Homo-oligomer: A and B are copies of this chain.
Amino acid sequence: MALFWLVPIAGVGAVLFALWLARDVLRRDPGPPEMRDIADRILEGAMAFLRRQYGTIAYLSVGVALLMGILLAFLGRSDITGDGRVDLADTLGLGWRTALAFLLGAFCSGLAGYIGMYISVKSNVRAAAAAARGGLREAVSVALRGGAVSGFLIVALSLLGILVIYYAYGGPNRLVFDPVYQANVPIAPFLIVGFGFGASFVALFAQLGGGIYTKAADMGADLVGKVEAGIPEDDPRNAAVIADLVGDNVGDCAGRGADLFESTAAENIGAMILGVAAYAAATRSNIPRPEVWVLFPLVMRAFGLIATAIGVMAVQGKEGENPMRALNRGYFLSIALSVVFLAIATWGMMGQATANPVWLFLAGLVGIATSVAFVFITQYYTEVYYRPVKSIAEASRTGPATNIVAGTSVGFETTFSTAVTIGVAILLAYWLGNHLRLPNGEPIPHGGLFGTAVATMGMLMTAAYVLAMDTFGPITDNANGIVEMAGAGDRVRSVTDRLDAVGNTTKALTKGYAMGSAGLAAFLLFSAYLDEVAKVRGTPLEAVNLAKPEVFVGGLIGVMLVFLFSALAIRAVQRAASSVIEEVRRQFRTNPGIMTGQARPDYARAVDITTRAGLRGMVAPGLLAVGVPIIVGVILRAEAVASLLMVGTIGGILLATFMNNAGGAWDNAKKLIESGALSNPGGEKVGKGTPTHAAAVVGDTVGDPFKDTAGPSLHVLVKLLSTITLVMAPIFI
């Protein structure tokens, strides 16, 4: 248990580390005035969006917290006082605690997102300035460290938030008798599920709003700029260009950050709930310190923070080297350290608690291996060196229709490796966990599920590093835009172009990682939901029986929900993009000086229009996602909701896989053609300006809302379904 102290130490340490990284980035040269001027506009737009978005989310959160508290207090069933009866003292206590945990989760997620994005937007101009001085190495370092601020704040605040609320709600001291396991167990893990729901709630709106914003600006700027006016990307004459740069931050940085904040938080809570069964068994057998089963997830996360901090510090690019190699070295160092730390955590903390800690270690290893597998799968399907992207580029020769058909086919195909990887990981971790025994040889109840929980934790150990790489993306993308707009010349542009290409890869990898972890986390949370239902009913829910018609219909609604949600998200992008297009066209028309370069377009107005459209668009799909499971739960009850959750999760993961990977593959098929890799039978290069390239641009544009709005929002939706049903379980019985 001495290792337990690592949790607060690593958590606070990670926050301090993030602040040190932030100081390190901020003290660097912010570049010449023309760059700073552009960066200031991006900062202004990004912060304005974030403030308004968080304002809307805050209102919604308070409303949901109140409603949830009241519903649980007056319709819930739970015996949290452990006196064997369900009375108002129980349900009132459950109501306010869940609502408070919800608000804390929402607040921590928002805080991490806000600070992380502030530093990210401050980093872009410093990366641009470093590139302008010719320092590829320094530019990589600035972009990664700027991104790491976000990564470490997210993981650390999620860990500290759970730690604080767990102890505030009684932690190991508040024990109630559990009729299912026939032992006194801590009630706190069941009371803190609101924290995960709060995190999901913010993540849903952050990812949706940010995703709609970024792609509306991107599609709008591209369609009116590149296609209609024939000016290059990031050209300062395009009124939507600042909105486009702002979008990269609010979508990839703030959105994905909230997504992974939620993954780490929800998964910690789910694993703690599953640990309660082992706690009960250990208590019954009078084995000392049963609480290690509940706290082990937090310790694994703390070790993960240390492993990734070392990984980030170790990244030292070399001049002339592909920056991706440097990032990969850091990543694999983090992975290697995670394996070592996993061993230390397992034997150090669980050596006394189980007769055979090796099975725990192996289950954690399965998770780590899964995270590496997702990196390779994503690379195979979205990078230019392999068959899928090449086939899409080839199909572009016969026009946009065959490009779309080929991309759809590749995207559908990618569900195969995703499903097999997640399936193998779950079955293997479950099988390993089933071997766990108490020191007295007694099997651990739900040992298999605890195995999958440890695997999920293993997968998320490197979350902070992956997040740092992810935020590297918008920073380098912005740096590239700033260099272009400031007219810094081709030499500098070639440096930032290389950084930008690396950023595209890291963004794609993060989506694969987020999706894989969502798959594992959802199974874990689902199992936690069944435990929660058992706790509330006093008897276990034996099964989620698809043979019952209402359970089948619950599943049908679950998959329908992910399609309908995606439809609304995609439509919101399209509507918002139309507003952007109209505004840019209006500016070109009313102010002819813009096109000749004599007048500056009104960037702020385009930013403002995108902001309003993004916020408007996020409300309907968000409320749909929150409302449907509650309505189904109230009408068709707990088992149908469980089916909605599980079948919806399966559908959501695979639909997200399709949209993320098809989008990434279309994007890179276009880049492959631009690189001149295709040639005609006559031998001449097929490049920019040819019909083949135009066809590939269509695919790229279609892929934008798929891969950056609907797909990532589906990860969040899947986890939101889990947390919302977990929280509302007491009213579905």
Contacts and interface: CB of A to CB of B under 8 A. Distances in A.
A480 interface: no
Contact of A647 (B412, B416, B650): B650
Nearest to A398: B223
A249 to B, nearest CB: 23
Interface stretch (A100-108, A110-118, A522-530): A522-530
Contact of A401 (B223, B419, B550): B223
A643 interface: yes
B426 A546 contact: no
A543 interface: yes
A395 interface: yes
B546 A643 contact: yes
Contact of A559 (B408, B549, B654): B654
A413 B650 CA distance: 19
Interface in A410-425: 410-413, 415-416, 418-420, 422-423
A669 interface: no
Contacts of A546: 543-544, 546, 642-643, 646-647
A556 B398 contact: no
A402 interface: yes
Q: How large is the interface on A (under 10, 10 to 19, 20 to 34, 35 or more residues)?
A: 35 or more
Interface string A547-574: 1011011011111100110111011011
Contact of A547 (B409, B526, B574): B526
Interface stretch (A169-177, A297-305, A370-378, A698-706): A698-706
Contacts of A647: 546, 555, 647, 650
B405 A705 contact: yes
A570 B523 contact: no
Chain A, interface SS category:
helix
A542 interface: yes
Nearest to A636: B427
A654 B409 contact: no
Given A545-B545, A563-B415, A654-B559, A553 B705 contact: no
Contact of A570 (B405, B422, B549, B560): B405
A570 to B, nearest CB: 4
A547 B527 CA distance: 7
B560 A416 contact: yes
Interface string A384-418: 00000000000100111110111011111101101
A54 B409 CA distance: 27
Given A405-B574, A427-B553, A647-B647, A410 B567 contact: yes
A559 B650 contact: yes
A61 B493 CA distance: 62
A658 interface: yes
A405 B573 contact: yes
Nearest to A410: B567
Given A416-B560, A570-B412, A698 B650 contact: no
A558 B653 CA distance: 13
A452 interface: yes
Nearest to A422: B556
Contact of A452 (B405, B416, B549, B698): B549
21 contacts: A219-B402, A223-B401, A400-B698, A404-B702, A409-B567, A412-B570, A415-B559, A415-B560, A415-B563, A415-B564, A419-B557, A427-B553, A452-B549, A542-B545, A543-B543, A546-B642, A546-B646, A555-B650, A556-B653, A559-B650, A563-B658
Given A411-B567, A426-B549, A544-B545, 12 more contacts: A398-B581, A412-B570, A413-B563, A420-B560, A526-B547, A530-B547, A542-B543, A543-B544, A543-B546, A545-B545, A555-B647, A555-B650
**Shortest beta-carbon contacts, A-B, top 5:** A412-B567, A419-B560, A401-B701, A543-B545, A543-B543
